[in-house]
Amino acid sequence: MSDSRGWRPAAAGIAAVVLGAGAGELVATFAAPASSPFAVVGGALIDLAPAWAKDTAIAWFGTSDKAALLVGIAVVLLVVAAVAGLAEARWRHSGVVALAALGIGAGLLGLTRPDAGMLAWLPSVLAGAVAAFALRMLLRREADAGPEAEDQPSRRAFLTWTIGTAAIGVAMAVVGGLGRAGSTVVTTVREALKLPKPATPAPAIPASASLDVPGITPVITPNADFYRIDTALVVPSVDPSSWKLRIHGMVAQEVTLTWDELLALPLVESAATLSCVSNEVGGDLIGNAVWLGYPIRELLKRAAPDADADMVLSTSVDGFTAGTPLEALTDDRAALLAIGMNGQPLPLEHGFPVRMVVPGLYGYVSATKWVTDLEVTRFDRDRAYWTDRGWSEKGPIKLESRIDVPRAGRTVTAGDSVIAGVAWQPGTGVSGVEVQVDDGDWQQAELATAISDDTWVQWRLPWRAKTGEHSIRCRAVAGDGTVQTDTIAAPAPDGASGWHTISVSVG
């Protein structure tokens, strides 16, 4: 910066944009919750991101990928804000016009989002206008401070105004965020909801399904710990009383189903392990729950799909789509239109009020949350959200096993110890797990009782841990005798494979 105004226009730009962004978030909370400026820009970035970027984001940040994206957007925005401030100080109107244009651009983007309401443009346009106005006001103060900034009191006044402006912006964003997190109508509706009793309850989970090993993954994943992966920056709010499912496309008979109609059907309860295709070997993007729902098979029977249909394209209220093989929804597996998860209504982040759960398939081809539409179609006619981005059309969950105990990188006390974990092959189930320490023989682990062929199973192997560094690996054998492959594959395009291997030191 050649002139003596130095950093002050940049600070004015940042404060103005923080104020605008805060106003946008606050107004969004009341006018258009899914269309806050951050939600709009973040949502568009998520949809535009190539497959490798999604993969990297999930690999680096796991289920915090959304937080990381928002931080990234904020950093870029602050840089833009500083530049706008400097530009405005040098070329009057340039920064103001840029900020207003940014707001209008984001507003237009908001209108193109799949879940856009009529006011989707408002939060962003308002944010841009507020930021532009605040920038001009702050720079007027800044000019008062004088180019040589000799005048200490007016310099201090500028600083106070700038900090105050930013602080109000932050406060508005916080209030907006709290408003959205706390008291949505749908949260209240969900909390008051009583799930119907299943006509077909899941068998009781035997005590022998859980091995007594401290630190092993529980056989049922509590809802609060269940991994969450989706493209929704703002969790969709779907009121059950207005929820409707439409089944159409290559069918003899269109079917629609309301929430009350769904609840009145004979519901089935069934445990199934759900895994994300982005789960690395040894990763934690996998969970196991008891789901309550209605078999999709029965609904498709009513619709009577055409003989040459082979795919069901499911769509969520937020525009996400998944393409599921028709066969997986009509064979005898418990593919459910689910409303309950571990005895509770689905948590909002897990698809309230209704989602799909299809045992044996990765989530991206089957587990549509906030689902409202099933179109019977063909794989050669329609594509889904992730298949459009380079992931495989079909996504059967691969045979895998994971070591939970000891944790990788931990120090283990020498002597009697235990190696334990979980293994899964939804569909056929797991018939065995083998463990190898260093270059030793593969040893048979003990298996817990499986709760079903669609769920993971715990395993353990007693281990005499000898002092030194050790490498431990495991592999599962499926119900049909297939041995888990040692071929290492990255998650893209159809799921990771290879043996989970950890290093531990024993001391």
Ligand X SMILES: Nc1nc2c(c(=O)[nH]1)N[C@H]1C(S)=C(S)[C@@H](COP(=O)(O)O)O[C@H]1N2
Report the nearest approach of ligand X to the CB of residue 155 (Å).
50
Cβ contact 289:223 at 8 Å: yes
Query: Where on the chain is the footprint of ligand X (CB under 6 A)?
Result: 226-232, 274, 276, 316, 318, 320, 350, 363-364, 367-370
Q: Which residues inside 149-208 make contact with Mo ion, applying CB under 5 A?
A: none
User: What is the spatial distance between Cα 270 and Cα 289, in angstroms, rounded to a whole number?
Assistant: 8
Q: Does 292 bind Mo ion (CB under 5 A)?
A: no
The stretch near Mo ion (CB under 5 A) out of 20-28, 351-359, 363-371, 388-396 is 363-371
Type and span of the H or E element at 166 = helix 152-182
Q: Indicate the residue among 25 and 55 with the shorter CB distance to ligand X.
A: 55
- 241 vs 243: CA distance, rounded Å: 6
DSSP tally for the chain: helices H, then strands E = 11, 19
* Least distance CB 242 / ligand X (angstroms): 17
Separation CA 505–CA 468 (nearest Å): 6
What is the SS3 string spanning 199-226? CECCCCCCHHHCCCCCCCCCCCCCHHHC
Instruction: Show the beta-strand stretches assigned E in 296-382.
Output: 311-316, 321-325, 336-341, 344-345, 355-357, 371-377
DSSP element (H, E) containing 424: strand 415-424
Taking CB under 5 A as the criterion, the residue among 17, 32, 276, 450 binding Mo ion is 276
In the complex, the smallest distance separating the C-beta of residue 340 from ligand X, rounded to whole angstroms, is: 13
Q: With binding defined as CB under 5 A, does residue 229 bind Mo ion?
A: yes
Count of positions (residues) in the chain: 507
Rounded to the nearest whole angstrom, what is the least distance from the CB of residue 43 to Mo ion in the complex?
Answer: 17
Closer to Mo ion at the Cβ: 27 or 338? 338
**35 versus 231: smaller Cβ distance to Mo ion:** 231
Nearest residue by C-beta to Mo ion?
276
Q: Does 365 bind Mo ion (CB under 5 A)?
A: no
368 binds, among ligand X, Mo ion, none (CB under 5 to 8 A by kind): ligand X
Q: Quick one: 287 or 295, whose CB is closer to Mo ion?
A: 287
Those residues whose C-beta lies under 8 Å from the C-beta of residue 390, and which sit 6 or more positions away, are 50, 51, 492, 493
51 versus 168: smaller Cβ distance to Mo ion: 51
Q: CB of 397: closest distance to ligand X in angstroms? A: 10
CB-CB contact of 54 with 277 (8 Å): no
Cα R_g (the chain), whole angstroms: 27
- Is residue 364 close enough to count as binding Mo ion by CB under 5 A? yes
Q: Smallest distance from the beta carbon of 356 to ligand X, in angstroms? A: 8
Closest approach, Cβ 387 to ligand X, in A, equals 12
The residue ranges that bind Mo ion (CB under 5 A) are 229, 276, 363-364
